[in-house]
Structure 1
Amino acid sequence: MEDILRPLAVVGGALLVTVVIGWIADQVVRRIAERHPEAPLWGLLRRCRMPLRLVLCVALLRGGYPSAKLAEEHEDVIAQVLTLALIGACAWLAVRLATAVVEAGYARYAAGARDAARMRRVRTQVTLIRRVVTAAVAVVAVAAMLLTFPAMRTVGTSLLASAGLIGIVAGVAAQSTLGNLFAGLQIAFGDMVRIGDTVVVGGEWGTVEEITLTYLVVTTWDERRITMPVSYFTSRPFENWSRGNPRMTGTVFFHLDHTAPMDLMRERLHQVLKLSPEWDGRAWSLVVTDTTPSTIQVRALVTAKDADDVWTLRCVVREEMVSWLRREHPYALPRINTAPAPGLEEAPDRRQVPPTAEDIGPGPGTT
């Protein structure tokens, strides 16, 4: 009976203590979060409930397993498994804690910030810092797990003796990966491109959706995702339409007849802009930029607060102005002469007929 009750007591006690302590910690954090809603950290700490309970349970089982005297012939194996599980649970808890602290700091900054460009910069840095911390914790956890094996300790001593050579070989083999890694850090802290920026890369227009240590994702206007290495942005030129200030200036071109009423078109353009919520009121103009023998080129200039609004405003101006010209001034639209060229019947004097002797007249030396 004792062989059954003792393992049950150890396992049941570990689960009971885990549930009780986890519930108490969750209630304490929840009450503090309710009393201090201005501090987002306490609400984010509630995400650590599962890893905290796992750490408590595995730690209690690891400490109480020898007294359970269960499967003594496999005691070393079970102890090793519990140790590995404890290291993994501690790493999970550390990542959740670091993420909560970083996101709480960003939330407090975003609550008082008014500069959208600076907020995007901080958001990008926070995202990459969180990924760096996660990667570092994972590497440390894996190394700690490997060092729990006696054989790996011996191998580790040998590796330290040849660390210089291995570092050179690894650097050459992972040159591309390391280049992307350092490029990601350069992008994060060099303020080259941020999450939410509107960029043009490879002829594609889109918004930066995600930045990692090795790659970057751009969402195009038609909801396609373009994934490219971050080293692309440190080695090639690209357009960033929202760096510093997202305001944009757009143009709309019209090809019209020379009789187009420019003064009336300016008045109509101003009316369209005043009725468009996308126009920010900064500037507008309508000028003739070029002429050809058959048409003139008219450019309308409009402004908006960002790339999305300037695109919408350009479409609105183009549609409204063309509809107004077609309805009120159809003569201003370009016209193409499609009349047929005159034929031989319409121009008989131009027919090629062989000349007669009378048409040629007397030759030289004759009387």
Structure 2
Amino acid sequence: MQSPADWPVLAVSVVGAILVVEIVRRLLIRARRRSALAGHLVEHCTWPAFAVAAVVAANFVFGPGMFGMTPQERDLSSAVERGLGLVTIASVTWLIVQASYALTDVVLERLVRVEGERNRRARRIMTQIALVRRIAAATIIVVAVGAMLFSFPQVRALGAGLLASAGIAGAVVGIAAQPTIGNALAGLQLAFSDALRLDDVVVVDNEWGRIEELTLTYVVVRLWDERRLVLPVSYFTQNPFENWTRHGSRVVAVVFLRVDWSVPVEKLREELYTFIQTNPLWDQKDWTLQVTDILPNGLVELRALMSAADSPSAWDLKCDVREHLVRYVRENFPEALPRFRVEAPETRAGVPWTAQLGAELDPGQAVSQSGFPDPKPPTQQL
């Protein structure tokens, strides 16, 4: 039976357990140059391991008689023993969750470095791992909280009484938590249907951005101007959105020019091909320049298409091509710049406007070269 004299033994046991964890930590630090897992274990599990070592050692040594043998002291010892049990459950849960994150971080770190055609599959696996480990962590925490609550006899008795009404309680909770459960199921649907992945390029509500974070309840879209658009997961299952990297990261850039009819399309097409050949953003695959429309205002619409490896490269390539074509047309074919034509009456009737207007005026009223009657000279006063 333990006595107050066992306090030094308790202190030595706790310190010894902490020293053992520190030795293991130093060994892992030395090994992380050769093993990525060792580095992630040190990063995630150092403090949880210290807590588990200290609490487990205290649990093994601590006994009912540590504070004394009187009834009050024994009650205090029982309360401390129960508190140590709760702290043990909490610290072990903390260690398990952090160890699972360390193990999955090894896989995620390798997937981040994957490029090229395999990048799409890598991002899909990253999204699924991120969601699964969040679900696993939430499940472990719920189980730990339940274990902590059921360590109290009063709670166990209450739980036995509530089992009879579990059906009604489950229905009420299900109705109240319907939006949350729907979001969670929507998150799993997005992750495992490959409809949305981390780092996907999307257009949502006319906003262009990348998927920065995908959880069971919300999605964070990092917009092109560094703003963050936070949307519920259910938004992506109930509303249409554009995913530019669904089957690959390659994107076709589009540039429109509205010019006059006198524009030399063939020379512009040759100039476009010459320019994109020297531009490193073009992926050397697709390009074209076509007349796509005649606008109601009388201008000709030209559309230039160029492919790029990803959406940021496509955006920069579009800007480069647009600037170059505008400068090329302005410097070499200024007559092809946008002009708006006006049809005059003489063009329509084939009769000089000044002659037609002069016939309708009084014989004494002259007509100027501009086609408008000259004002009568003022009458001289004698």
**Fold-level match, TM-score > 0.5?**
yes
Correspondence for 1:41 among 31, 37, 43? 37
2:54 is the counterpart of 1:57: yes
Q: In structure 1, what is the equivalent of residue 93 of structure 2? A: 91
* Offset at residue 63 of structure 1 (A): 2.6
| Structure 2 residues not aligned, in runs of 5+ | 347-352, 364-382
Distance across 1 between alignment mates of 2:128 and 2:329 = 50
Correspondence for 1:162 among 155, 161, 165? 165
* Offset at residue 107 of structure 1 (A): 3.8
* Offset at residue 4 of structure 1 (A): 7.6
Q: In structure 1, what is the equivalent of residue 368 of structure 2? A: none
* Offset at residue 31 of structure 1 (A): 4.2
Q: In structure 2, what is the equivalent of residue 18 of structure 1? A: 17
Distance across 1 between alignment mates of 2:205 and 2:158 = 47
TM-score (norm 1): 0.87
Q: In structure 2, what is the equivalent of residue 306 of structure 1? A: 310
Mean CA deviation greater in 328-337 or 280-289? 328-337
Distance across 2 between alignment mates of 1:107 and 1:327 = 51
Contact 1:121 1:194 in 2 (8 A): yes
Contact 1:344 1:350 in 2 (8 A): no
Q: In structure 2, what is the equivalent of residue 177 of structure 1? A: 180
Whichever residue aligns with residue 53 of structure 2, its letter is L
Please give the secondary structure, in 2, of the residue aligned with 1:27. Answer: helix
Q: Deviations over 1:19-41 (max 9, x none)?
A: 3211222133334444xx2x422
Distance across 2 between alignment mates of 1:165 and 1:264 = 77
Contact 2:67 2:76 in 1 (8 A): no
State the Cα RMSD in Å. Answer: 2.7
* Offset at residue 64 of structure 1 (A): 2.2
1:129-278 equivalences in 2 (<5 Å):
129-278=132-281
Mean CA deviation greater in 202-211 or 163-172? 163-172
Mean CA deviation greater in 57-66 or 307-316? 57-66
Q: Deviations over 1:41-72 (max 9, x none)?
A: 22222231211110010112223232532765
Distance across 1 between alignment mates of 2:164 and 2:317 = 66
Contact 2:298 2:341 in 1 (8 A): no
Distance across 2 between alignment mates of 1:16 and 1:232 = 52
Contact 2:14 2:55 in 1 (8 A): no
Distance across 2 between alignment mates of 1:309 and 1:191 = 24
Contact 1:128 1:188 in 2 (8 A): yes
TM-score (norm 2): 0.83
Distance across 2 between alignment mates of 1:335 and 1:286 = 21
Whichever residue aligns with residue 69 of structure 1, its letter is F
Contact 1:254 1:298 in 2 (8 A): yes
2:319 is the counterpart of 1:320: no
Contact 1:217 1:225 in 2 (8 A): yes
Contact 2:18 2:53 in 1 (8 A): no
Contact 1:344 1:351 in 2 (8 A): no
- Evaluate the alpha carbon distance shift between residue 327 and residue 298 of structure 1 in structure 2; reply closer, same or farther with a 3 A threshold: same
Q: Deviations over 1:197-232 (max 9, x none)?
A: 011112211100001111111111111111111111
Whichever residue aligns with residue 20 of structure 1, its letter is L
Distance across 2 between alignment mates of 1:61 and 1:156 = 30
Q: In structure 2, what is the equivalent of residue 77 of structure 1? A: 79
* Offset at residue 113 of structure 1 (A): 7.4
Whichever residue aligns with residue 40 of structure 2, its letter is L
Contact 2:111 2:123 in 1 (8 A): no
Distance across 2 between alignment mates of 1:304 and 1:100 = 36
Whichever residue aligns with residue 301 of structure 1, its letter is L
Correspondence for 2:120 among 97, 117, 122? 117
* Offset at residue 351 of structure 1 (A): 4.3
Aligned length: 348
Whichever residue aligns with residue 40 of structure 1, its letter is A
Contact 1:198 1:205 in 2 (8 A): yes
Mean CA deviation greater in 110-119 or 235-244? 110-119
Q: In structure 1, what is the equivalent of residue 350 of structure 2? A: none
Q: In structure 2, what is the equivalent of residue 27 of structure 1? A: 26
- Evaluate the alpha carbon distance shift between residue 166 and residue 4 of structure 1 in structure 2; reply closer, same or farther with a 3 A threshold: closer
Mean CA deviation greater in 45-54 or 64-73? 64-73
Distance across 1 between alignment mates of 2:200 and 2:155 = 46
Contact 1:40 1:108 in 2 (8 A): no
- Evaluate the alpha carbon distance shift between residue 101 and residue 277 of structure 1 in structure 2; reply closer, same or farther with a 3 A threshold: same
Please give the secondary structure, in 1, of the residue aligned with 2:290. Answer: strand
